[in-house]
Chain A
Amino acid sequence: KQEVTQIPAALSVPEGENLVLNCSFTDSAIYNLQWFRQDPGKGLTSLLLIQSSQREQTSGRLNASLDKSSGRSTLYIAASQPGDSATYLCAVPQPYGGATNKLIFGTGTLLAVQP
């Protein structure tokens, strides 16, 4: 059974700092991994999708890496801003059971960027 873990559960940093969020998964048979952000009471916003054949994906100040063999992904945020404050979630598709888009989510990292 696929399990996804995110460390740390919460993080508080001063504005301008570079930071890394971690995501671990137990079953390496994944097609892709997706990072989302969620603002309080809102839906999920897709940040980055990394296909299993990729090692990295970048979007603006965000860079996500994927190491399938070790079951890990990291989300790097450069020059953090108060507007980056949100909960960050990683998710992988269920690895077995036929064609599916069912996502297995991590528990999230609550990020607070202090001005």
Chain B
Amino acid sequence: KAGVTQTPRYLIKTRGQQVTLSCSPISGHRSVSWYQQTPGQGLQFLFEYFSETQRNKGNFPGRFSGRQFSNSRSEMNVSTLELGDSALYLCASSFTDSDEQFFGPGTRLTVL
């Protein structure tokens, strides 16, 4: 059974640009969550989707957005990139609520 996949694995952008990250959950999983990880702030929750509905959103500016498709794949978008957006972006999937969560390898975003 394939694990959670994230593309691209590495990304270099400049300030002001926008970026789209993709996450494919484990087959059959309906829940996808996104996290930002930085050395100073640790793991911070971005948003959560369940069956195409956003159920929760973290304390991030509106430049951060996401969506989930009918096949449970999810994308997150960051517009008008800032230097502080440089981070490892992780997504996690689970079959249902209160279930074990599995993480992908992450996308390393560097903003210059």
Q: Which residues of A contact B (CB under 8 A)?
A: 31-32, 34, 36, 41-46, 49, 51, 89, 93-94, 97-103, 105, 107-108
Contact = CB atoms under 8 A, between A and B. Distances in A.
Contacts of B94: 101
B108 A102 contact: no
A34 B100 contact: yes
Given A34-B101, A46-B100, A99 B45 contact: no
Interface of B: 4, 6, 31, 33, 35, 42-43, 45, 48, 50, 55-56, 58, 88, 90, 92, 94, 97-106, 108
Given A89-B43, A97-B56, A107-B42, A43 B48 contact: no
Contacts of A105: 42-43
B106 A43 contact: yes
Nearest to B58: A102
In the complex, the 5 A-B pairs of residues with the closest C-beta atoms, listed nearest first = A44-B103, A31-B98, A43-B105, A49-B100, A105-B43
A99 B102 CA distance: 18
B105 A102 contact: no
Nearest to A93: B98
